[in-house]
Amino acid sequence: MAVYHLLLSSPPSLLLLPPSPRRPNITLIRRIPAHPRLGSSTNLLSSSSPIIRKILVHSTLREDQPIASDAESPTLLIGEDSAAFELGKQKLVSWVYFGVVLGVVLFILNVVWIDNSTGFGKSFIDTVSNISGSPEVAMLMLILIFAIVHSGLASLRDIGEKLIGERAFRVLFAGISLPLAMSTIVYFINHRYDGSQLWQLQGVPGIHEAIWVANFVSFFFLYPSTFNLLEVAAVDKPKMHLWETGIMRITRHPQMVGQIVWCLAHTLWIGNTVAASASLGLIAHHLFGAWNGDRRLAKRYGEAFESIKKRTSVIPFAAIFEGRQVLPEDYYKEFVRLPYLAITALTVGAYFAHPLMQGASFRLHW
């Protein structure tokens, strides 16, 4: 087992390191106090702690490799292991609670927003649409409203969590963002073939297959925090994570990359001004989100984030090609995990469920 995982499972007062060719005897090392910002799974490295820098080594280092003495080593794990999911550590009561919370949220969303007889969703869409009468402008405005609320609340997270607590702020964040996101998605589905046609490639051989592959791949670029469903639903206390493995080795902003791929694929397939305006708005929002995300992580984690920033890149694979990121020999194992298996099933399922999603959206008349 990697030393990193051993450190995480050690008692809070002692670290027990197993024997190895470099350590013929078992060694006990006192645990150094945790970084005040990093959680229990990431508080083992401090930029001012040379002992921890030498022993906190991820599985990218084989047992026969020398231990890194430089905190800038690309094989030294500072952040968290993304998409990790251990079935044995899951509590049934937490997932039952998650199901109850999900059911309650969907019920409230339906009554307050979706149902045209009781909710405000249609009135909101009609108000935005009537400002200009242009579906392109309406699409951009819906994305702009969502972006301001979503990124604005994210920027106020530290203040909000201090005032009302992590769980209450997550409920507030999701309660406002979710109906706005749904409105934008439904409007896009219902009006995606409005506007002016710019090109028509749907009959070109191979285009459908290429678009399908691009869309499928885009969902593997979801930000790792998306997989923490219990935190998303505030069943577990939400945290701002500092991820480092998995998709983060390819790009530090996978959500942005995945959204760009999705937008380009759909714009190429639909080929009109509404699709182009939607893509323009979404890509702009995610470019800002990438900058804002780095700013927030730098503010919260300081030197730990700066170290990860040096070994990762915004542009996919750039840090790998430049030698700043060293992939482990068993890198594929960081994707052979339950969250990515679930993403595979859901992405394929969503493709075949497109007629159902379109039918449900049309019935809302938004």
Residue 75: the pLDDT is: 62
How is 303-316 classified by DSSP, letter by letter?
HHHHHHHHH--SST
Cβ atoms 274, 191 nearer than 8 A? yes
Alpha carbon distance 366, 190 (integer Å): 7
pLDDT of 73 strictly over 90? no
Alpha carbon distance 42, 23 (integer Å): 24
pLDDT tens sequence across 17-57: 444 444 344 333 333 344 444 444 444 433 434 333 333 43
Residue 63: the pLDDT is: 32
pLDDT tens sequence across 254-312: 999 999 999 999 999 999 999 999 999 999 999 999 999 999 999 999 999 999 999 99
**Reported pTM:** 0.79
Buried b (16+ CB within 10 A) or exposed e, 108-143: ebeeebbeeeebebbebbeebbeeeebbbebbbbbb
For residue 268, the tally of other CB atoms under 10 A from its CB is 17
Query: Using 50, 70 and 90 to split pLDDT, how confident is the model at 93?
Result: very high
Mean pLDDT of the chain: 84
Residue 3: the pLDDT is: 38
Please give the structure tokens belonging to residue 61.
């280092």
How is 251-273 classified by DSSP, letter by letter?
-S-HHHHHHHHHHHHHHHHH-BH
Alpha carbon distance 65, 75 (integer Å): 11
Residue 263: the pLDDT is: 98
pLDDT of 253 strictly over 60? yes
The mean per-residue pLDDT over the stretch 318-322 comes to: 96
Query: Using 50, 70 and 90 to split pLDDT, how confident is the model at 72?
Result: low
Please give the structure tokens belonging to residue 179.
């109906």
pLDDT tens sequence across 147-178: 999 999 999 999 999 999 999 999 999 999 99
Cβ atoms 243, 205 nearer than 8 A? no
pLDDT: which is higher, 207 or 3: 207
CA 8 to chain centre: 23
Residue 41: the pLDDT is: 42
Element (H, E) at 106: helix 92-109
Distances (CA, A) of 114 to 10, 178, 311, 358: 49, 11, 44, 15
Residue 28: the pLDDT is: 36
pLDDT of 70 strictly over 90? no
pLDDT of 110 strictly over 50? yes
Query: Using 50, 70 and 90 to split pLDDT, how confident is the model at 145?
Result: very high
pLDDT tens sequence across 327-366: 999 999 999 999 999 999 999 999 999 999 999 999 999 9
Nearest to 188 by CA among 344, 364, 318: 364
Residue 76: the pLDDT is: 74
